[in-house]
Amino acid sequence: MSSCWGHNVRISVFGQSHSEAIGVVVDGLPAGFRPDMDELGAFMARRAPGGSLATPRKEADQPRFLSGIAAGVLTGAPLCAIINNTNVRPGDYTEFKDKPRPGHADYTAEIKYHGFQDASGGGHFSGRLTAPLCVAGGICLQLLRREGIRIGAHIERIADIRDRRFDPAEVSERDIDSLCRGELTVIDSIAAEKMADCILQARQEGDSVGGVIECAVTGLPAGMGDPMFDGMENAIASAIFAIPAIKGIEFGSGFDCASMRGSQHNDPFTICGDRIVTRGNNHGGILGGITSGMPLVFRAAVKPTPSIAAKQNTVSLSEKKDAKLEIKGRHDPCIVPRAVPCVEAVTALVIYDKLLDKKKDI
Amino acid sequence: MSSCWGHNVRISVFGQSHSEAIGVVVDGLPAGFRPDMDELGAFMARRAPGGSLATPRKEADQPRFLSGIAAGVLTGAPLCAIINNTNVRPGDYTEFKDKPRPGHADYTAEIKYHGFQDASGGGHFSGRLTAPLCVAGGICLQLLRREGIRIGAHIERIADIRDRRFDPAEVSERDIDSLCRGELTVIDSIAAEKMADCILQARQEGDSVGGVIECAVTGLPAGMGDPMFDGMENAIASAIFAIPAIKGIEFGSGFDCASMRGSQHNDPFTICGDRIVTRGNNHGGILGGITSGMPLVFRAAVKPTPSIAAKQNTVSLSEKKDAKLEIKGRHDPCIVPRAVPCVEAVTALVIYDKLLDKKKDI
Amino acid sequence: MSSCWGHNVRISVFGQSHSEAIGVVVDGLPAGFRPDMDELGAFMARRAPGGSLATPRKEADQPRFLSGIAAGVLTGAPLCAIINNTNVRPGDYTEFKDKPRPGHADYTAEIKYHGFQDASGGGHFSGRLTAPLCVAGGICLQLLRREGIRIGAHIERIADIRDRRFDPAEVSERDIDSLCRGELTVIDSIAAEKMADCILQARQEGDSVGGVIECAVTGLPAGMGDPMFDGMENAIASAIFAIPAIKGIEFGSGFDCASMRGSQHNDPFTICGDRIVTRGNNHGGILGGITSGMPLVFRAAVKPTPSIAAKQNTVSLSEKKDAKLEIKGRHDPCIVPRAVPCVEAVTALVIYDKLLDKKKDI
Amino acid sequence: MSSCWGHNVRISVFGQSHSEAIGVVVDGLPAGFRPDMDELGAFMARRAPGGSLATPRKEADQPRFLSGIAAGVLTGAPLCAIINNTNVRPGDYTEFKDKPRPGHADYTAEIKYHGFQDASGGGHFSGRLTAPLCVAGGICLQLLRREGIRIGAHIERIADIRDRRFDPAEVSERDIDSLCRGELTVIDSIAAEKMADCILQARQEGDSVGGVIECAVTGLPAGMGDPMFDGMENAIASAIFAIPAIKGIEFGSGFDCASMRGSQHNDPFTICGDRIVTRGNNHGGILGGITSGMPLVFRAAVKPTPSIAAKQNTVSLSEKKDAKLEIKGRHDPCIVPRAVPCVEAVTALVIYDKLLDKKKDI
């Protein structure tokens, strides 16, 4: 079991990279909401393959809704969206069943599923499965905007090339709207150019690079979330790691807090108009698992694409001896750009779910 | 809701810092197991206050078992353990209800609970609530050892003073057994001395410091965990953030992966005797959410104690204006040392829960 | 695992008949509510042993609150209530570990827990564990009354002696208030007398009798509950079977529907003032799992107490041969009377949990 | 939320009567199992419309598997099965949005979903949604048979015409294999003829009839299930009420227990060869929520089809006044026959889920 998530909105993701279709069931969306399908399509396009920095596998990745929507309006019944897999080439992958690719789930899935997993294209572990996540999250993004809540992520870093960070205490809806959403979503377009060079350089060398994504949520009311196991950090972390290749997550000051003094790390409260705010936002908008009303800010580390052109060492499972592996075809030299909307989508799912919890507190 | 966790072993934590007692119900432990109570007591003592580096609040913190155990043996019925709060001084905290302490949950709890939370001593948000977590996790640690699984954490860093890290590909049961478990648990005892100085220095200055804890799990079979939302990272992260003051978590290479090339980050498989292992362990023992059989390694960042001696800025909620706050009494100048067993305990809960899942796969 | 329940309000019940204490953790109750402790005590007294028709085991059964309440008011943190077991005589039960009592869980628990269960007094399977259920449910009853929702149960039948039934379409708060709450809770006090005779007759013969409890919920808004697996019937049934000795549950017309024609069973809608109601209430206030705004009515069958005075046939597990068993001590000749408040309590838990769900729909 | 269920095997059902498709995601099925598709098709056919006693809506109702299966073998990834809705006539139902049909969920869904539900054909509340349940349950039936566990249901009663009951203490795999599976599944074929007459009689009169289904599970090991909220009764009941039109459920002696004495109701244990069994099976194979190793037997009451030909009283929601309604088209005069495989399917889901739990106890 695995691919279910949620307390008030429950999602169940299905599909393999090369199965007939992939998709998601979303149970608990509000009846009466009319998703903007153009906007959803534009959001999906941000995740879709294409562009000079990504894999050339071409897929429209537009969802078809089998249920839960009638005349364009959510009915309250579970929504099922599927995306057909049209560009399937199972032949590309038969080798990996015996020779697991380093950095992929080929080996661990082989053990877990006793050799019966659908290894083709990475099966259920493929990054392609983030497409249904983006359908579900894309709708939640629209629902949240109705409530004045905005979510925006950008590439904070590719290798050692850094974008500016959000000002954690000041980041606003306008900052999210003014993100440069080209092939690489950044605050500072100059950074994007350097990042693009860095990615192309890696591609030319048959290699790949990693990075860091920063995400901000604005417009959150104070008092969302729960103590201990159901805090905002717990919930976001538990969902963010659903995105393949994420290796770490940090909130507010994150790992930098280790080097700070309490006097420096504490964010003093102050009155700002009729609102209570903090000066500084090392707490990342969360105290005791509960939102403070300040922007919620976190960063997630994304590893370099494990599929690289160079010949790699691995083992032959059947022969139980060391072996060489060469991954053919072309792959994203960097998955960070396409992971940006995935981070937004997953965050939207969590925030929307928690927002429903908050309605019960009233 | 909040303080429940688990799929096969379900725990429910209760209590406030100054309520009559704190405790935990653990449902799903195996009948017939005889916990070693001396060992559990020794484990609890590692978390308990005391020592020159910690708060002087003296509490035995030894659990009393109300149910689930008979003649020293688990019966299969839910286990309830309570720890009485004997050294309660509610008067210390009345001020914070109106003037929330920066870096604490006073303000967010005030909003969430509409002013009815038990603010005394931090209430349900107090670090004291990690004691019942350690009771539950301490038993799981013993259960796991029966299965050849060991969990050990150490202080990887206080401020900028670093301990050695575990060798992620080689860390063994023996490394865990040979950790220096003084007031500060480290690999390298020299580091402990410097860390102690750093902490005392902060205390003298009425300030506090943060750090990083590293945790390793050895002896794990390959094939544990599930894809997407129920991977090992998701499960561990969702539980680790239950420990107050955790700001980030990273697995294997963690945030360093951002600067790495795929050719460098991928851990090639190889045959070692009759086992399949990887050279290197950037993947931290997890691929696709599933254990690879390599050591599971992660790090968690711990913020500096928010309770400091210096006068701080805050607001008066009743007067809706800025105010000054001075936190009296003495507090841990660094909570990292006491958080080490908490990280082990929470990790043990997760690993044991996932191990039960794995039994169903067979 | 087992003794946890709930979506928005989560409870975790612990304890054995002869452990130090039994109790419950309730997570998710609303901060700011002040439970009426006298009323709760009176409610608990209805379940407590005593009276001429019940077991003479004397226990105050009054809960002590370890957490979640401060100055009499719910704080929002998990509530833990315990009831000490003061009148414990483990010696009474040692025989049953080897010679399982017919109709009890002795044998099935022996198998499930590999012989390690605490068999004394029925352990975790004892009817005594309904006391913590009544604490949790008793508070929910008070919370529901604030919302205009009332729950009342009565003995519909003991053996073949029947009380009147509620008029399912008309049952009101006033009917619930005017239930005769003597030793036997009924609508018609004449029925109570005959039932008492029937129970005493069984006692004199060293035997026991069963019965049926009917429960009504008034004041429910239309639109509560969910389709398919989370309907009101599913939720109530899943919780009602937590009460030992329940053998069946039916809603509205229940099993009688089998003999009815659709033309007779359908409850036509009609306008009554400004409300939409049905004529008749065969649907028991639930259509498609969702409340219709009519009274919710169900009945539950309670088996005769399995502990009887007569010598019974069983087996010796150690000798693997047939054996005779005589259960000493005195036992309730009929558990139906004490199960009435338990049915109310469990129903209150479910209704309150679902009411919180409904708040999210708005 | 609603249409998700399960602890180890989690299912998520989606679709409306007249949406493009209906379906189910099943997460947690074992990798390596090869479902017999012919057998599954035959099982689905038992639920499908057709025959002289059922609605003439013709649909193949054969599932298409979008994921989770490769080369006919389960891969361990979530299985998604869909069934297209080919014979959709939305025009039939527009009236019911304003004039809710008595006995249907039209009114309660209207309230819950604020008028946005897809009322056409009953939407997500349609009996048609049991088809995906049968896909999921049909696979579980096959999985259980591998473990020697068999599930069989039959019509115990239509109106007042009764089939023989299973002998609860003796019912065997052979009894299940020898059920008469014609249009009406019964033990005694003579009963089937009378039932058919009764149903046809109701149809001729433009009316409908209800009934009772009895279900037996054989081959269960002792020790399955959990106390209190996760007992076998709780789990089965919570799932059985997912089938529309179920009004009650009883286990073993069920409601008859109310009239019995303890001396009569208790099932004495005895040795039979090397097994421990009971004489009699009033306990229905469950004691304390846990299987005893005896056959598990329960009965469920099914109400008469609410769609009848006669003109009925209802209200016009728009005009807020009483109105008349005539339901056109033809409908099953009795849904009991088609509910029989649904009961088997849902039971199989529950039993398989609990069987996985039991594997953890070892």
Handedness of CA B159, B160, B165, B168 (dihedral sign): positive
Q: CB contact, 8 Å: A15 with chain D?
A: yes
Q: Give the mean pLDDT of chain B.
A: 93
Asked if the model's pLDDT at residue C258 lies above 80, the reply is yes
Distance from the D71 Cα atom to the nearest Cα atom in chain C, whole angstroms: 32
Residue C39 CA to residue A136 CA, distance in Å, equals 47
User: How many beta carbons lie within 10 A of that of residue C86, not counting itself?
Assistant: 11
Side chain identity at A331, as an amino acid letter? H
For range D184-200, the mean pLDDT: 96
CB B282 within 8 A of CB B262: no
Q: CB contact, 8 Å: C361 with chain A?
A: yes
Contacts of B155 in chain A (CB under 8 A): none
Question: How far is C-alpha C96 from the chain's CA centre?
Answer: 26
**pLDDT score, position B55:** 58
**pLDDT score, position C238:** 96
**pLDDT score, position D1:** 53
Residue D318 CA to residue C335 CA, distance in Å, equals 50
The enclosing domain of B254 has a CATH number of 3.60.150.10
Q: CB contact, 8 Å: C362 with chain A?
A: yes
Residue among B77, B227, B356 minimizing CB distance to D360: B356
* A38 Cβ contact list (under 8 Å, min separation 6): none
What are B65-100's pLDDT values in tens digits?
Answer: 999 999 999 999 999 999 999 866 655 566 778 999
- Are D1 and A27 in contact (CB < 8 Å)? yes
Say how many CB pairs under 8 Å bridge A and B.
357
CB crowding B120-149: b at 16 or more within 10 Å, else e: bbbbbbbbbbbbbbbbbbbbbbbbbbeeeb
Terminal CA-to-CA distance of chain D, rounded, Å?
34
Asked if the model's pLDDT at residue C55 lies above 70, the reply is no
| Higher per-residue confidence, B150 vs C92 | B150
Neighbours of chain C (3+ CB pairs under 8 A): A, B, D
For range C176-197, the mean pLDDT: 95
Q: CB contact, 8 Å: C8 with chain A?
A: yes
Residue A124 CA to residue A112 CA, distance in Å, equals 13
Distance from the A94 Cα atom to the nearest Cα atom in chain D, whole angstroms: 13
Asked whether the whole model's pTM tops 0.90, one would answer: yes
Residue among D208, D209, D229 minimizing CB distance to C242: D229
Residue D321 CA to residue D314 CA, distance in Å, equals 9
Q: CB contact, 8 Å: D359 with chain B?
A: yes
Taking phi over 0 as left and psi of -120 to 50 as alpha, with beta for the rest, C22 belongs to beta
Q: CA-based Rg of chain C, rounded to a whole angstrom?
A: 21
Distance from the D30 Cα atom to the nearest Cα atom in chain B, whole angstroms: 7
For range B91-114, the mean pLDDT: 88
- Are A77 and C8 in contact (CB < 8 Å)? no
> Rounded to 5 degrees, what are φ and ψ at C345?
-65, -50
Q: Among candidates B348, B29, B33, B40, which has minimal Cα distance to B220?
A: B348
**pLDDT score, position A315:** 97
- Within 223-282 of D, beta carbons closer than 8 Å to B belong to 227
**pLDDT score, position A288:** 97
Distance from the C270 Cα atom to the nearest Cα atom in chain A, whole angstroms: 26
Residue A216 CA to residue A198 CA, distance in Å, equals 25
Asked if the model's pLDDT at residue B1 lies above 60, the reply is no
What are D292-330's pLDDT values in tens digits?
Answer: 999 999 999 999 999 999 999 999 999 999 999 999 877
**Residue C361: band (very low, low, confident or very high) from pLDDT cuts 50, 70, 90:** confident
CB C83 within 8 A of CB C132: yes
- Closest residue, chain D, to B361 (C-alpha): D30
From the candidates B1, B130, B256, B265, which should be mutated to test the interface with A, based on the most A CB atoms within 10 A? B265
What are B231-245's pLDDT values in tens digits?
Answer: 999 999 999 999 999
Three-class SS of residue B330?
A: coil
Residue among D228, D261, D266 minimizing CB distance to C3: D228
Q: Among candidates D239, D218, D220, D227, which has minimal Cα distance to D7?
A: D239
For range D253-266, the mean pLDDT: 98
**pLDDT score, position D60:** 61
Residue C327 CA to residue C208 CA, distance in Å, equals 13
Contacts of D253 in chain C (CB under 8 A): 247, 303
Residue C292 CA to residue D108 CA, distance in Å, equals 6
- Are B66 and C21 in contact (CB < 8 Å)? yes
pLDDT in tens, chain A (362 residues): 568 899 999 999 999 999 999 999 999 999 999 999 999 999 999 998 776 666 554 556 889 999 999 999 999 999 999 999 986 665 556 777 899 999 999 999 999 999 999 988 899 999 999 999 999 999 999 999 999 999 999 999 999 999 999 999 999 999 999 999 888 999 999 999 999 999 999 999 999 999 999 999 999 999 999 999 999 999 999 999 999 999 999 999 999 999 999 999 999 999 999 999 999 999 999 999 999 999 999 999 999 999 999 999 999 999 999 999 999 877 889 999 999 999 999 999 999 999 999 988 76
Residue among C30, C227, C359 minimizing CB distance to A359: C359
Distances (CA, A) of A27 to A195, D14, D105, D122: 39, 8, 18, 18
Token pair listed for D132: 């995906």
For range C15-38, the mean pLDDT: 96
* A153 Cβ contact list (under 8 Å, min separation 6): A185, A213, A214, A215, A216, A340, A341, A343, A344, A347
Distances (CA, A) of A296 to A138, B193, B250, B313: 19, 37, 19, 22
Lowest-confidence region among A207-211, C49-53, D160-164? C49-53
Side chain identity at A176, as an amino acid letter? I
Residue A104 CA to residue A305 CA, distance in Å, equals 9
Residue among C10, C66, C116 minimizing CB distance to B74: C116
- Are A250 and B301 in contact (CB < 8 Å)? yes
Contacts of B30 in chain D (CB under 8 A): 361
Terminal CA-to-CA distance of chain C, rounded, Å?
34
Residue among A15, A27, A74 minimizing CB distance to D2: A27
From the candidates A2, A74, A110, A118, which should be mutated to test the interface with D, based on the most D CB atoms within 10 A? A118
SS (H, E, C) D68-137: CEECCEECCCCEEEEEECCCCCHHHHHHHHHCCCCCCCHHHHHHHCCCCCCCHHHHHHCHHHHHHHHHHH
For range C26-48, the mean pLDDT: 95
CB B142 within 8 A of CB B40: yes
Asked if the model's pLDDT at residue D59 lies above 60, the reply is no
- Are D261 and C209 in contact (CB < 8 Å)? yes
Query: Cα–Cα–Cα angle for D14, D16, D20, nearest 5°?
Result: 90
Residue D121 CA to residue D118 CA, distance in Å, equals 8
Distance from the C351 Cα atom to the nearest Cα atom in chain A, whole angstroms: 14
Residue D6 CA to residue D28 CA, distance in Å, equals 10
- Are D317 and C251 in contact (CB < 8 Å)? no
Side chain identity at B145, as an amino acid letter? R
Residue among B102, B254, B283 minimizing CB distance to A269: B102
Query: Could you give the dihedral angle defined by the CA atoms of residues A197, A201, A207 and A208, in that order, rounded to the nearest 10 degrees?
Result: -10
Q: CB contact, 8 Å: C310 with chain A?
A: no
Query: Max alpha carbon distance in chain A (Å)?
Result: 71
**pLDDT score, position A187:** 97
Q: CA-based Rg of chain B, rounded to a whole angstrom?
A: 21
- Closest residue, chain D, to B354 (C-alpha): D360
From the candidates D16, D67, D124, which should be mutated to test the interface with A, based on the most A CB atoms within 10 A? D67
Three-class SS of residue A128?
A: helix
- Are D229 and C207 in contact (CB < 8 Å)? no
Q: How many CA atoms lie within 13 A of A13 on its CB side?
A: 30
Three-class SS of residue A35?
A: coil
**Residue B58: band (very low, low, confident or very high) from pLDDT cuts 50, 70, 90:** low
Contacts of A317 in chain B (CB under 8 A): 276
Three-class SS of residue C291?
A: strand
| Higher per-residue confidence, D92 vs B215 | B215
For range B206-230, the mean pLDDT: 97
Token pair listed for A54: 């990504």
What are C289-303's pLDDT values in tens digits?
Answer: 999 999 999 999 999
> Rounded to 5 degrees, what are φ and ψ at C68?
85, 0
Q: CB contact, 8 Å: B48 with chain A?
A: no
CB A334 within 8 A of CB A210: yes
For range C310-339, the mean pLDDT: 93
**pLDDT score, position D87:** 67
- Within 82-121 of B, beta carbons closer than 8 Å to C belong to 82, 109, 112-118, 120
| Higher per-residue confidence, D181 vs B315 | B315
Number of domains in chain B: 1
Q: For strands C180-181 and C73-74, give the pairing.
A: unpaired
Q: How many CA atoms lie within 13 A of D360 on its CB side?
A: 24
- Are C305 and D244 in contact (CB < 8 Å)? no
Share of chain B above pLDDT 90, in %: 87
**pLDDT score, position B22:** 97
ipTM for the assembly:
0.96
Residue C303 CA to residue D254 CA, distance in Å, equals 8
For range B118-137, the mean pLDDT: 94
Q: Give the mean pLDDT of chain C.
A: 93
Asked if the model's pLDDT at residue C148 lies above 70, the reply is yes
Q: Which domain holds residue B59?
A: 4-361
For range D132-136, the mean pLDDT: 97
Q: Among candidates A215, A69, A76, A147, which has minimal Cα distance to A356?
A: A147
For range B39-46, the mean pLDDT: 95
Token pair listed for B165: 């890290």
